[in-house]
Chain A
C-alpha cells in the first residue's frame, strides 16, 4: 500500500537528532509493549509480515503523531481483536476498570483464535533463480493496496543485481494469508541519479533487497532494438 510508512525520499522531517546515552526503553510501558508484542503475536499466530502491515494500516495522521512503541501497541491491539483473541469491549472495560470481564465473553474470544500459522520456511524444493549477479533489472511499477516491501522510490527504476540472498517467503502474499510463495530475494543496486535525478551524486548508490516478483529483466538486446524503432519513427515524421 502507498502508506505513510513508505518514507524513503520524503522531505520535511528535519535533521536527524541523536540522543546522548539513550536508554534501551524510555518508559516502563515501552518495555511491556516490546515484550508483549513478541509473546502476543505468537499467541495470535501472527507472522511478521502481518505485524508490519498492521502498523502500515494505522491512519497516516495517527502514524505520524505516535511514538514508535505507540505504533507497536496499536498494531498488537488491532491484530488481537481481528483474530478474536480479545474483544474491543474487553479492552475498554479493562482500561476503565469499571466493568468485570464476563467469562462467556472470554470463552467466545478463545474459540475464535485465528487460523493455523503460516509456515515461515520455504518448501523443500527451492525455486530456481531468474536473475544472476550483474543482470540489469527494472523494479516493477505497481501500487498494490495491500502489503509490499518494494519501496515507492525504487518503482520503475533500473538497477543491477548485486547479490542473490536465496529463497524467502514472499511478504506481499504472506501478510494476507495468501500463501508463502517462496522465491529468490536479491540485493539490487540503484545509482542515486537513477533514483533521484541528475542533481544527485554520481558517487552514491542505494542497495535495496527485492523479491523476484518485484523485478523484471532489462533485456540486453532490447535497448538497441528500441532505439532503432525510435529512429525509424522520427525518420517517418520528417
Chain B
C-alpha cells in the first residue's frame, strides 16, 4: 500500500481513460490532438532543466538573484518560464545555516513551470506524511545528513504558493559558466532533498543526478 505502484494490470485504468477520451471526443468536447500537445509540453519542454537555468542565473548574477528572491514569478518569467502551477512562485535559499525542504502533505502541489511534473517519491505517502514531522529522517532516506546546527525549514504547499529551493553553489565551481552550472543543478536539490556535489574534477564523489 505504498501508493507508488504502477498498476501491473494496466487494462483497468487504461481502458477507463480510453473510454472517457472516446466519449468526450464523440460529444465534440475534446480534440485528442490537444491532449497530445499537453503531453508533449510536459515531456519535452516543461521540466527541471528550466529550474536549473534559474538557479544557475541566480548563482552568477547577483542582481538577478535579488529579483528572484523578491518576486520569483517575475524573475522566472524573465527566462521565459510560466504556466499552470506557476502563478505564485517563491524562491527559498539554502545556506550553511538554513536548509529548506518543500512538501505538499495534502496532495501534490509542485512548481510545474520550473520543475515539471513531480516525481513519484514527491507524491508518495511516505514523503507526504513524514516530511513535516521528521524532515531530518526523510533527508537521511535521500542520503543527506545535516549538521545539528542547521535549521530546517519545511514548506508545506497548502495554498497556491509554489516553492523553488535555491540550492547552495558547490565549491570548486568558480570557473564554470552559467550553462555548465545549470548542467549540475539537480531536480531533487531544487526540492531540498539533496545537496549538489562539487563537480567530479574537483575530486569529490558525485551524487546521483
Do these two chains interact?
A: yes
Known: A70-B13, A209-B159, A210-B158. 19 other contacts (CB 8 A): A7-B128, A8-B132, A17-B124, A17-B141, A24-B43, A25-B43, A26-B120, A27-B14, A32-B21, A39-B35, A43-B30, A67-B6, A85-B27, A85-B29, A86-B27, A187-B161, A204-B136, A206-B156, A209-B161
Binds B, one of A89-97, A126-134, A223-231: A89-97
A69 to B10, alpha carbons, bound, how many Å? 12
Contact between A13 and B124, CB atoms less than 8 A apart: yes
- Contact among A13, A38, A43, A195 with B29 in the assembled complex (CB-CB below 8 Å): A43
B159 CB → nearest A CB, Å: 4
Contact between A69 and B13, CB atoms less than 8 A apart: yes
Contact between B107 and A203, CB atoms less than 8 A apart: no
Contact between B159 and A65, CB atoms less than 8 A apart: no
- Interface presence of B176 (CB below 8 A): no
Q: Given known contacts A15-B126, A91-B20, is B158 in contact with A208 (CB within 8 Å)?
A: yes
A17 to B126, alpha carbons, bound, how many Å? 8
- Interface presence of B171 (CB below 8 A): no
- Interface presence of A16 (CB below 8 A): yes
Q: Given known contacts A6-B106, A7-B125, A18-B188, is B130 in contact with A13 (CB within 8 Å)?
A: yes
A187 to B90, alpha carbons, bound, how many Å? 11
- Interface presence of B204 (CB below 8 A): no
Chain A neighbourhood of B84, CB < 8 A: 38
- B156-183 interface mask toward A, CB cutoff 8 Å, 1 = contact, 0 = none? 1111110000000000000000000000
B191 CB → nearest A CB, Å: 11
A29 to B121, alpha carbons, bound, how many Å? 20
B112 CB → nearest A CB, Å: 11
Binds A, one of B53-61, B62-70, B144-152: B144-152
Contact between A35 and B35, CB atoms less than 8 A apart: yes
Instruction: List residues of chain A with CB under 8 Å of any chain B CB.
Output: 5-11, 13-22, 24-36, 38-40, 43, 52, 55, 64-70, 73, 76-77, 80, 85-86, 90-91, 94-95, 101, 106, 109-110, 149-151, 153, 165, 168, 171, 185, 187, 192, 195-196, 200-201, 203-211
Contact between B132 and A153, CB atoms less than 8 A apart: yes
Contact between B14 and A28, CB atoms less than 8 A apart: yes
Q: Given known contacts A8-B156, A13-B130, A36-B21, is B27 in contact with A109 (CB within 8 Å)?
A: yes
What are the 7 tightest A-B residue pairs by CB atom distance, in nearest-first order?
A: A8-B105, A209-B159, A94-B19, A35-B35, A29-B14, A35-B38, A10-B129
- Contact among B1, B38, B106, B121 with A17 in the assembled complex (CB-CB below 8 Å): B121
- Contact among B29, B35, B150, B158 with A151 in the assembled complex (CB-CB below 8 Å): B158
Q: Which residue of B lies closest to A33 (CB)?
A: B17
A50 to B186, alpha carbons, bound, how many Å? 33
Q: Which residue of B lies closest to A185 (CB)?
A: B159
Q: Which residue of A lies closest to B188 (CB)?
A: A18
Chain A neighbourhood of B120, CB < 8 A: 19, 22, 26, 68
- Contact among B7, B15, B121, B155 with A18 in the assembled complex (CB-CB below 8 Å): B121
A99 CB → nearest B CB, Å: 12
- Interface presence of B22 (CB below 8 A): yes
Chain A neighbourhood of B29, CB < 8 A: 43, 85
Q: Given known contacts A35-B35, A39-B34, A204-B135, is B16 in contact with A77 (CB within 8 Å)?
A: yes
Q: Which residue of A lies closest to B85 (CB)?
A: A48
Chain B neighbourhood of A86, CB < 8 A: 20, 23-24, 27
Chain A neighbourhood of B117, CB < 8 A: 24, 34
B84 CB → nearest A CB, Å: 8
